Structure 1
Amino acid sequence: MSALAVPKSRHNGTSPRAMVLADFLIATAAVLGFVSLSRNLLAFARWSHAAFLRKPKDLRDYGSWAVVTGATDGVGKALAFELASEGLNLVLVGRNPGKLEAASSELRKRHGETVEVKTVIADFAKLRGEEITAAMAGATEGLDVGLLVNGAGMAYPYARYFHEVDRELMESMLGVNLNAVVWVTKGVIDGMLKKKRGAILNMGSASSMYASAYPLQTLYASTKAFMAMFSRCMSLEYKEQGIDIQCQVPLFIATKMTMLRSRPMLVPSAKMFSRASVRWIGYECQCNPYWSHAVQGFVMHALDAICVWYIKRYMEWMRREGLEQHRHL
């Protein structure tokens, strides 16, 4: 063998060009991995700051009045009380006159003359769009409305397949979850545009964000997906006009609609959620304000296939339970 000859085994049968290519691919993978890790760490740092350290906005800078729909129960009612504690006057919107009066009396009793309260009776499941807009414009005429909370929402009484949703329930859900959001916003936004400031909070759902499908809750999840897109588009349209529009996408909250008990690490009470919710108003166009919900959402998104499988199985069980209870009514 010549002294200048290189044994083939020394390079394991690979050419210098192949080795250079392999080194390049390894270096590229390392750089991409570092960039991906850095992005995730930066996203986590930004979320941690927003969730625990960022100073909430003074909502009175938007205006002295807030309009809250769905203000007689659940998250809507809890948000109304939280906004009152921030010094905002309130226009409470609901369909039940007795509950509206009870909520306004409780607010006046708690805050005295420091907070003004008006009520608007509106059944979004029955009113047409123009009627909703006219009612909202009339109720807010002459008021410095700075914040609108679209908190009214409706879900199935229990999980069911789409063909099992009767016409009355379907029309009511579309009216409350879709129609009302559009026409209430239409009735309030003109005043915000005139003064070049305002904020709109649309209460969405994690069903439209973290799972690729939400079987046996098809209509509910689809209406919430509309709300998320509606909010994102509106945010881009009106940001330069001084109007901050946000959609919050929580997971389960202990309310009459979900029929769940409060477990702070997983299922916050409406009061607990509302405290977190108010801290995020005016910032990102879409967010999950309760910290444990955000963590749960991250896991759900990472394990999407397993998550959707579990949701379907769980909803099928909920459907059986609901049908059994309905038979005994």
Structure 2
Amino acid sequence: MSCCGFISTFCVFVVSVQLICGVFRFLYQQFIGPLLNGKSTDFKKYGQWALVTGATDGIGKEYARSLAKRGLNIILVSRTLSKLETVAKEISEAFNVETAVIDVNFTSGPEIYDKIKEKIHGKEIGILVNNVGMGYITPDYFLSIPNRDQMIKDMIQCNVLSIPMMCSIILPQMVERKKGLVITISSLSAIIPAGCMTVYSATKAFAHKFSEDLSMEYGKHGIKVQSILPGPVATNMTRLKKGSLMAPKADKFVESALLTVDSAPYSTGYFPHVIFQVITQFLSFLMPSYLTSLTLKTMENVRNRSIKKGLYTPVASQ
């Protein structure tokens, strides 16, 4: 065999091995691992308390309920005190655990984090769920977003700043104990084309990237960091009222996502969303222009239906 032939064969071999390993790793993290090991995960090993931001509705509320069901005491952090107290009472009575509430508005300034520090003092927080977030009223072009400047500021405060600030508060005690779990709710829009959701998808890309690199830094200290990138979930924020195969209700989604904690550093959390991710990224590789056009047209259709129903009024583009 000639030198060139040997090099070509070796390159094909290396690429084949990488491909096979990559496919197996993907299948294990997203399907085999959750199926085999997901139900045996011991969440109480991380600590006595779990803190969930954005905990009164949707995915956040269901993370709080699911972790309480697994025996953890729950700290609920959200904006409206009355809703916090209602959810806290519901969880305490249903699962016989302790609960605590912290009412802060994550679109406010940095002073809210002083209040959070004060309220959690002395509590062994083993799990942090960075769930709080805000989205668009309906998909739209950047310059057509109503009250755009304020929306940008609020979304960055809520979707971006909250994540490193909450980690800054809670991560030190996890490192001291050499154990902890940080789950951050990103979005599938962070890694696939998401025109007409530009600011939102960019904030979720930050959430995903921050989680990836935080895991790299603190995995050696016993801290598990997971990024969850869901597709559509039936919640108040998405305005999807009925669950379906591709848009499950929040309780079904969270139970599925918790099965992936021990096997996947990042996941959509829900197997049909994994399939959607694979198809989308495959199309992005083969036909990027087609996928971009299809995505934008889909978002425009959602926008136009909302306008037609009188649910949304864009501003004139500048």
Fold agreement, TM-score > 0.5? yes
| Aligned partner (choices 83, 86, 89) of residue 105 of structure 1 | 89
Residue number in structure 2 paired with 1:119: 101
Residue number in structure 1 paired with 2:254: 274
C-alpha deviation, 1:39, in angstroms: 3.2
Q: Does residue 1:184 correspond to 2:166, yes or no?
A: yes
Q: Does residue 1:156 correspond to 2:136, yes or no?
A: yes
C-alpha deviation, 1:232, in angstroms: 1.1
| Aligned partner (choices 296, 300, 314) of residue 280 of structure 2 | 300
Matches within 5 A, 1:176-325: 176-209=158-191, 211=192, 213-304=193-284, 305=288, 306-324=290-308, 325=310
Q: Secondary structure at the match of 2:277?
A: helix
Quick check: 1:68–1:93 contact (8 Å CA) kept in 2?
yes
2:228 maps to a residue whose letter is Q
Alpha-carbon displacement from aligned partner over 1:128-175 (angstroms, at most 9, x marks no partner):
22x232122112111111000011111000111111232222221111
Quick check: 1:205–1:248 contact (8 Å CA) kept in 2?
yes
C-alpha deviation, 1:263, in angstroms: 4.4
Residue number in structure 2 paired with 1:173: 155
* Structure-2 change in CA distance of 1:260 and 1:69 (3 Å): same
Q: Does residue 1:46 correspond to 2:28, yes or no?
A: yes
> How many percent identity over aligned positions?
27
Unaligned runs of 5+ in 2: 314-318
Using the size of structure 1 for normalisation, the TM-score is 0.85
Alpha-carbon displacement from aligned partner over 1:256-289 (angstroms, at most 9, x marks no partner):
1111244442111100011012222354332222
Unaligned runs of 5+ in 1: 1-16
Quick check: 2:133–2:158 contact (8 Å CA) kept in 1?
yes
Quick check: 1:83–1:278 contact (8 Å CA) kept in 2?
no
Alpha-carbon displacement from aligned partner over 1:98-133 (angstroms, at most 9, x marks no partner):
21111112112212xx3000000000112x22x232
Quick check: 1:89–1:117 contact (8 Å CA) kept in 2?
yes
Distance in 1, matches of 2:44 and 2:90, equals 22
C-alpha deviation, 1:236, in angstroms: 1.2
Residue number in structure 1 paired with 2:316: none
Q: Secondary structure at the match of 2:181?
A: strand
Residue number in structure 2 paired with 1:71: 55
Distance in 2, matches of 1:99 and 1:59, equals 26
Alpha-carbon displacement from aligned partner over 1:237-272 (angstroms, at most 9, x marks no partner):
111122111111111111111112444421111000
Distance in 2, matches of 1:88 and 1:98, equals 22
Q: Secondary structure at the match of 2:259?
A: helix
Distance in 1, matches of 2:292 and 2:256, equals 27
Using the size of structure 2 for normalisation, the TM-score is 0.87
* Structure-2 change in CA distance of 1:133 and 1:38 (3 Å): same
Deviates more, 1:150-159 or 1:190-199: 190-199
Residue number in structure 2 paired with 1:8: none
Matches within 5 A, 1:19-30: none
